[in-house]
Amino acid sequence: IPQLLYNVPGRTACDMLPETVSKLAGIENIVGIKEATGDISRVHWLRQHCPDSFTILSGDDATALDLIAAGGQGVISVTANVAPKAMHQMCESALAGKFEQAQQFNATLAGLHKNLFFEANPIPVKWALYRMGLIKSGIRLPLTLLSDSYHQRLETDLKRAGLL
């Protein structure tokens, strides 16, 4: 079964160093990595030290465009749960080398990239989808509803992205 490495130190409390990734990339069924450190220099290093077929995906929406520009192939996105079309357009433009156009899409999403993490994922995503009229209010325990103090800022981000 093809496997994707998951390097998200903010969630795992362990950083998978590029040298480790390079060694693991030599294993037949390890096909890529979700790289969420935000350190774009790692993409350059991985491109030089991993097989050409090794897929590098961003796990950090805020730096996804930069990761693609550095040789990555896309993003495993939180923002795409709320704005799938705009994230697709941003990635498609970047992968086609249309970075000015990609930046325009990305600029409308910048607030979401940041503010969908006011509280633990998926709390802000669920609230945004509720506010957009796509789901009912509520969330399963142990998660709680998004704090009222974040509603206005997230609503502003949704409007900026053309979602409200």
Which segments of the chain does DSSP mark as H helices, in order?
9-12, 18-24, 41-49, 64-69, 84-95, 99-115, 123-131, 151-160
Distances (CA, A) of 141 to 119, 123, 144, 150: 14, 11, 6, 20
23 is catalytic: no
For the sheet containing 30-35, what is the strand order? 3-7, 30-35, 55-58, 74-75
Amino acid at site 23: K
Residue 31 and residue 55 in contact, taking contact as beta carbons nearer than 8 Å: yes
> Roughly what angle, to the nearest 10 degrees, separates helices 151-160 and 123-131?
60
- Catalytic: which of 6, 114, 130, 150? 6
Q: At 125, list the tokens.
A: 């995503």
Q: Which of 34, 114, 130, 150 is catalytic?
A: 34
6 flagged as catalytic: yes
Q: In this structure, are strands 74-75 and 3-7 parallel, antiparallel, or unpaired?
A: unpaired
Q: Which residues are catalytic?
A: 6, 34
